[in-house]
Structure 1
Amino acid sequence: MEPVSNGNLPPGFDPSTCRSVYVGNVHPNVTESLLIEVFQGSGPVERCKLIRKEKSSFGFVDYYDRRSAALAIMTLHGRHIYGQAIKVNWAYASTQREDTSGHFHIFVGDLSSEVNDATLYACFSTYPSCSDARVMWDNKTGRSRGYGFVSFRNQQEAETAITEMTGKWLGSRQIRCNWATKTNAEEKQETDNHNAVVLTNGGSSNAAMEANQDTGSKENPENNPDFTTVYVGNLGHEVVNRDELHRHFYNLGVGAIEEVRVQQEKGFGFIRYSTHGEAALAIQMANGLVVRGKPIKCSWGNKPTPPGTSSKPLPPPIA
């Protein structure tokens, strides 16, 4: 089954139980054997299915464990095969997302770059009939277009949301809301139908995505092995402390944590891992994780780990 797959993951979708990835924008010359060869670098592949299309094919790769799938998303998204950048994200059946074709849709504009589907949905989920939220992404740059759509089962609640949410702060900007017009509603439908896969914050952060634009730069955290620190934002400063943050990331089981810092009054913190790969996997797996009712935002720390920094794993956190 072809998934409705991109940064637009269904609300409540849990990648921790998923071990399959969706591969989009595949060059027509790519074969299943070549796809297996590329993806088995992230771990043993159980099976691979390629659905051929005239201009660009798509497919699915099933791994034996979710760690391999997460690593594939983190390392292979944007990889060029025959000069064409593939799109890699979690795979899931379309039945996991509610059919909103008969629902009432509103347009949400002036979204800041860090807002993703989960953030947008969390913002509007205070309205009980809110059924879906989508941020529109530019497939070429991997960046947000600055607007999205929110669906409601109840028309009156959609109208109330337009009135109440216009001018409210979401991320670093005030949003504006209105009824979705026929033109932009068709764009949303087209995105749904083509299942464009853009790794956002259902995957890595916008900061990490922007880093992908310059794959040759040594200062690019995505490609610089000296970057081993994860930035963790949107923390509830009144409740999240160092031990609690350590516990959440320790439970991911992605590697050795060497340092945990929290700025409680500012609502963010940092997790330093032993290796660049462990930090990359932590960003992929923890981004959007709900901590005390708030989805956290993970990206690369803005500075590489200084040479000679003490490398000793912290003891396990207290349960």
Structure 2
Amino acid sequence: EPVSNGNLPPGFDPSTCRSVYVGNVHPNVTESLLIEVFQGSGPVERCKLIRKEKSSFGFVDYYDRRSAALAIMTLHGRHIYGQAIKVNWAYASTQREDTSGHFHIFVGDLSSEVNDATLYACFSTYPSCSDARVMWDNKTGRSRGYGFVSFRNQQRKLKLL
């Protein structure tokens, strides 16, 4: 089973997901080439490539979850036209709650292994905890060592051990 190599929303359940996100795709890559590369992990249902000037991205949908998991484990970091692609579970950003009106705290000195779900789990004992986000460096794909936790209600004291 693949370990997340990036941000996943709290509560995201990859056990039902059959789609993968493919990032950092070289501009010369075509949908047919992506299908060719990704069908090595299992039969591809469909592929969608979104073209950007410098680095495109896309989504590959499999017929089964196991093929998607295998693609994440075997294709993340693979070079296509000299550029390492990023492969992770695909999820809709609408799976996150809108926290624009919530209260936020800064959390620093985070280990590089901490992702959104881990950070959220640390604060989920507070009923008003609504979201947690670790900040990532887009160029290196590594954690910046800090993040933000959102709460639906302002609490007078946040006691941490």
TM range (shorter): 0.7 to 0.9
Report how far residue 35 of structure 1 moved.
0.5
Report how far residue 94 of structure 1 moved.
1.7
Asked whether the 8 Å contact 1:3–1:94 carries over to 2, the reply is no
Report how far residue 6 of structure 1 moved.
7.1
Report how far residue 145 of structure 1 moved.
1.9
Helix, strand or coil: the match of 1:122?
helix
Tell me the TM-score normalized by structure 1: 0.45
Q: Distance in 2 between matches of 1:107 and 1:43?
A: 41
Q: Distance in 2 between matches of 1:8 and 1:142?
A: 10
Cα deviation per residue 1:288-318 (whole Å; 9 max; x = unaligned)? xxxxxxxxxxxxxxxxxxxxxxxxxxxxxx9
Report how far residue 107 of structure 1 moved.
1.1
Cα deviation per residue 1:8-49 (whole Å; 9 max; x = unaligned)? 212111101000001111111110000001111111101101
Q: Does 1:37 align with 2:63?
A: no
Helix, strand or coil: the match of 1:75?
helix
Question: Structure 2 vs 1, CA of residues 28 and 5 (structure 1 numbering), >3 Å: closer, same or farther?
Answer: farther
Asked whether the 8 Å contact 2:135–2:143 carries over to 1, the reply is yes
Helix, strand or coil: the match of 2:37?
helix
Report how far residue 102 of structure 1 moved.
2.6
Aligned length: 155
Report how far residue 78 of structure 1 moved.
1.3
Aligned to 2:51: 52
Q: Distance in 2 between matches of 1:136 and 1:72?
A: 25
Report how far residue 113 of structure 1 moved.
2.6
Asked whether the 8 Å contact 2:2–2:69 carries over to 1, the reply is no
Question: Structure 2 vs 1, CA of residues 5 and 30 (structure 1 numbering), >3 Å: closer, same or farther?
Answer: farther
Q: Distance in 1 between matches of 2:6 and 2:100?
A: 19
Aligned to 1:114: 113
Q: Distance in 1 between matches of 2:20 and 2:135?
A: 21
Cα deviation per residue 1:205-227 (whole Å; 9 max; x = unaligned)? xxxxxxxxxxxxxxxxxxxxxxx
Question: Structure 2 vs 1, CA of residues 5 and 51 (structure 1 numbering), >3 Å: closer, same or farther?
Answer: farther
Greater strand percent: which structure? 2
Asked whether the 8 Å contact 1:23–1:88 carries over to 2, the reply is yes
Q: Distance in 2 between matches of 1:142 and 1:53?
A: 19
Larger RCO, structures 1/2 (Cα 8 Å, 6+ apart): 2
Q: Distance in 2 between matches of 1:146 and 1:5?
A: 17
Question: Structure 2 vs 1, CA of residues 3 and 16 (structure 1 numbering), >3 Å: closer, same or farther?
Answer: closer
Greater helix percent: which structure? 1
Question: Structure 2 vs 1, CA of residues 11 and 102 (structure 1 numbering), >3 Å: closer, same or farther?
Answer: same
Root-mean-square deviation (Å): 5.3
Q: Which moved more, 1:141-150 or 1:122-131?
A: 141-150
Q: Distance in 2 between matches of 1:18 and 1:76?
A: 17
Q: Distance in 2 between matches of 1:81 and 1:41?
A: 15
Q: Distance in 1 between matches of 2:99 and 2:145?
A: 22
Report how far residue 110 of structure 1 moved.
0.9
Asked whether the 8 Å contact 2:2–2:73 carries over to 1, the reply is no
State the identity as a percent: 99
Q: Highest Rg: 1 or 2?
A: 1
Q: Distance in 2 between matches of 1:78 and 1:149?
A: 28
Asked whether the 8 Å contact 1:26–1:86 carries over to 2, the reply is yes
Gaps of 5+ in 2: 154-159
Cα deviation per residue 1:254-280 (whole Å; 9 max; x = unaligned)? xxxxxxxxxxxxxxxxxxxxxxxxxxx
Question: Structure 2 vs 1, CA of residues 134 and 26 (structure 1 numbering), >3 Å: closer, same or farther?
Answer: same
Asked whether the 8 Å contact 1:3–1:93 carries over to 2, the reply is no
Report how far residue 146 of structure 1 moved.
1.4
Q: Distance in 2 between matches of 1:103 and 1:7?
A: 24
Tell me the TM-score normalized by structure 2: 0.86
